[in-house]
């Protein structure tokens, strides 16, 4: 009888200790969920920002682990430079920041882009810098994008990228570019051109420059109006007619 009472007391003590430990662990778990962690410095290859339900909203990544992008639910198959990507509530990429740069034979090949995409489409406004062959341009660009989804284009692009390198793949890629270019045109550029000019360029829906305000590398200013073939039809101040390249 005494042994039974002793065993009961031990079981009660055991139950009390276990209950106490569980309470401590649960309390620690709650405190960790609400506690902010502070780091002086961290090294990381990729960070995913997600909603509570797991939906991806932002990716910050190096080039090797960068998200390839997704449009209308289709995941692209491509490599991308390091940067930051944004995703909308549908799960599609809707803009981002990218940058790259290297030097070869003493010349820079570099670029940077902050872009915002139209829904189910590609970038429609961007701040962009690009440098190659000793020249660079930088400025604000605005594009027209069609009302149709890029989903079908992504499917075709992924299929082409799986093809073996060669003339057939090159031809298929060129055909896709031509067929998917309808309704896509750069309409506005404001910035510095590769020939050292500061320019405001306005284009028609086919992407042809029709008006431009330029201050060239020598500091001379002019306003030009062009026809659909690129010929200057009026210039202020007046100058000899010319054809733009």
Report phi then psi at 51, rounded to 5.
-80, 175
Lowest mean per-residue pLDDT among 61-65, 135-139, 183-187, 213-217: 183-187
The candidate with the shortest Cα–Cα distance to 239, out of 214, 216, 222, 227, is: 222
8 A C-beta contact, residue 99 and residue 115: no
Q: How far is CA 25 from the centre of its chain?
A: 43
Task: Give the predicted TM-score (pTM) of the model.
Answer: 0.74
In the prediction, which pLDDT does 148 show?
87
Q: How far apart are the C-alpha atoms of 115 and 127, rounded to whole Å?
A: 7
pLDDT at 175: 85
- Mean model confidence pLDDT for the chain: 86
**pLDDT, mean of residues 125-141:** 94
The kind and range of the H/E element at 2 are helix 2-34
Buried b or exposed e, range 170-184, using 16+ CB within 10 angstroms: eebeeeeeeebeeeb
pLDDT of residue 245: 47
* 91-107 average pLDDT score: 91
Determine what percent of the chain is predicted with pLDDT higher than 70: 82
Among residues 140, 135, 145, 148, the alpha carbon closest in space to that of 191 is found at 140
Q: pLDDT band for position 107 (50/70/90)?
A: confident
Instruction: Give the integer Cα–Cα distance in Å for 62 and 153.
Output: 26
Q: How far apart are CA 85 and CA 96, in angstroms?
A: 4
Over pLDDT 90: what percentage of the chain?
Answer: 58
Which tokens hold the place of 126?
A: 């961007």
């Amino acid at each position: 009888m005494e042994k039974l009472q002793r065993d009961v007391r031990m079981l009660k003590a055991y139950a009390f200790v276990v209950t106490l430990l569980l309470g401590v662990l649960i309390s620690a778990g709650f405190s960790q969920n609400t506690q902010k962690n502070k780091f002086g410095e961290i090294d990381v290859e990729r960070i995913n920002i997600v909603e509570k339900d797991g939906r991806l909203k932002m990716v910050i990544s190096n080039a090797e682990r960068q998200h390839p992008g997704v449009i209308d639910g289709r995941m692209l198959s491509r490599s991308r430079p390091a940067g930051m990507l944004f995703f909308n509530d549908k799960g599609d990429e809707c803009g981002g920041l990218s940058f790259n740069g290297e030097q070869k034979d003493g010349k820079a090949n570099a670029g940077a882009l902050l872009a915002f995409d139209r829904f189910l489409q590609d970038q429609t406004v961007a701040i962009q810098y690009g440098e190659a062959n000793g020249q660079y341009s930088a400025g604000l660009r605005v594009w027209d994008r069609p009302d149709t989804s890029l989903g079908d284009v992504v499917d075709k692009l992924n299929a082409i990228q799986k093809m073996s390198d060669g003339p057939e793949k090159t031809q298929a890629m060129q055909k896709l570019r031509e067929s998917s270019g309808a309704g896509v045109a750069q309409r506005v550029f404001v910035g510095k051109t590769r020939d050292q000019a500061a320019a405001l360029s306005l284009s028609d829906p086919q992407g042809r420059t029709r008006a431009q305000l330029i201050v060239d590398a020598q500091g001379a200013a002019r306003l030009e109006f062009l026809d659909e073939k690129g010929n200057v039809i009026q210039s202020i101040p007046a100058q000899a007619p010319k054809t733009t390249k």
